[in-house]
Amino acid sequence: MNRSLATSKRTRSCRGTLGALVLIALIGCESKDSIVDPEPAAPLLPAHVTVVDGHVRWSTDIESRGSVRYGFTSADLDHVAYPVAAGRRDRALLREHEVPLLDLRAGRRVYLQTVDEAPGGPVSHSDLGSFEPGSLPVPALLTATMIHIGFGDSHLITLPNGRRVLIDAGERGAAGAVAQYLDSHGVTTLDAVLSTHVHIDHLGGLVGAFGDFGDGILSRRPAVFLDSPEKSWSRDAYSEAMATLAQAGVRRAVLSRGQTSATQPELAWDERVLVTVLSSGRLPSYVPDRARENDDINNDSIVLKWSYGEVDFIIGGDAEAAAEASMQQAFPLATLEVEYYKAHHHGLPDASTPGWLAVLKPRVGFIPNTQLVWSGNLADALARTSSGLQALGADVYVIDEAPSLGRSRSSGVQYNVSFVTDGVSYEVRLERATQSVPLKPAAPCIHDDPDLQALFGATAPASEVLP
């Protein structure tokens, strides 16, 4: 057993269950005039843990990867904090651990556990402890939130300067869920909206269920709509989007591979954050793996890399193996390494290939799916992608599952999941989702991908379909 676990078992000769009031005289400790002193209402830090200026420090006897679970009640640890990204200390096996916490406020008690992961061994957690932080400077944070919308993708990026970018909005019926999330978080303006590709489970919520101007997220009149230069196939929803943009007077800007926020004004949302277009539109010299109509729509997906200080992450749409290989050929491999990766194509096995993940080396992976939608053979396929990420040392977060926080799908709780960074270190935060989401797509939305038809156990009609 490593020392972080062995020494974290707090001495209880003068302490009872954490948080309880203990009569010291009853357990043989010194007393004065038979007056007993109650234990503090909240537990102290474990003996081997210190906190200095918001940095949690501890030692282990063997090398391990460290992280910290924390929250603001003893029963609800909903944050995971990771070490600094510089030198990839977030992935390193160390004996001396230091993890900054990014969500500290004076007067708000913090409850925490240290976490140690040794190669080939079980994960060790310290006892629960707590402390009350003093006054600390408020860091400038970049937040990328995976919004719970049921089926499909939707991600809100909040830049350090407060500007906001929405990437996709799920299927048509998810427009209301995205709107509820934005409203409940005080998001009144969108500085940009990006549709990664034309499949309905990404573009649909932008135009809404009825195809009129007031129905979808585009009715909020974002400052700009970001699009790709060329489509391998189109959809009715894309035509509706173009009509809505024209009606609302929203400008359309076209992105191309290799553009960055340093050269493209439409991407220059915050001078501290470099945005790079890794993929956009039809791939060069792409030949579909299977001879079927519009097979390469997923590989049309716009994929963006975001870099803030030492921290990098990638969010794309449904880019499959061909797009991943194309990006590896187009960019120096060292520039593709990231701390956080949003799994392409909902974590299905035609994307997030072992070679691609080995280049990215993510410490954190998000997979946008939920048990409300994914089950049976499809859940097995997603589990394989999750296992592939975990084998490379990544913690995996799903809309309804967060093993690193002890949250299982059996609880039935759905979350909005956020990746948060100050450009030096980063953490993941869970928030219980309160928005109303559409359930599993009805038959008209089951897509024309034969692999997914088999997984869903349904046959797609000839009408507009999902990827």
Strand ranges in 101-223 using DSSP code E only, listed in sequence order: 110-117, 123-125, 129-131, 142-146, 155-158, 164-167, 192-194
Domain segments of the chain: what residues? 40-138, 142-166+222-234+244-456
23 close to 55: Cβ distance less than 8 angstroms: no
The yes-or-no verdict on residue 230 having pLDDT over 90 is: no
pTM: 0.86
Q: How far apart are CA 134 and CA 137, in angstroms?
A: 10
Q: Are 267 and 261 in contact (CB under 8 A)?
A: yes
Query: Rounded to an integer, what distance in angstroms lies between the CA atom of residue 8 and that of residue 426?
Result: 24
pLDDT number for residue 452: 44
Instruction: Please tell me the predicted confidence (pLDDT) of residue 381.
Output: 73
Tens-digit pLDDT profile for residues 297-323 = 888 999 999 999 999 999 999 999 999
Distance, C-alpha 386 to centroid of its chain:
13
User: What does each C-alpha distance from 368 to 135, 399, 414, 421 come to in angstroms?
Assistant: 36, 6, 11, 20
pLDDT tens digits, 181-220: 999 999 999 999 999 998 888 999 999 987 677 789 999 9
Residues 156, 164: Cα–Cα separation, whole Å: 7
Please give the CATH topology (third level) of the domain spanning 142-166+222-234+244-456.
Metallo-beta-lactamase; Chain A (3.60.15)
Q: What is the mean pLDDT of residues 8-35?
A: 34
pLDDT band of residue 373 (cuts 50, 70, 90) is low
Write down the pLDDT at residue 326: 93
Q: pLDDT per residue over 135-173, tens digit each?
A: 888 899 999 999 999 878 999 999 999 999 999 999 888
SS (H, E, C) 395-457: EEEECCEEHHHCECHHHCCCEEEEEEECCCCEEEEEEECCCCCCCCCCHHHCCCCHHHHHHHC
**Predicted confidence band at 440 (pLDDT cuts at 50, 70, 90)?**
low
Q: Which CATH architecture has domain 40-138?
A: Sandwich (2.60)
- Residue appearing with tokens 């797609």: 460
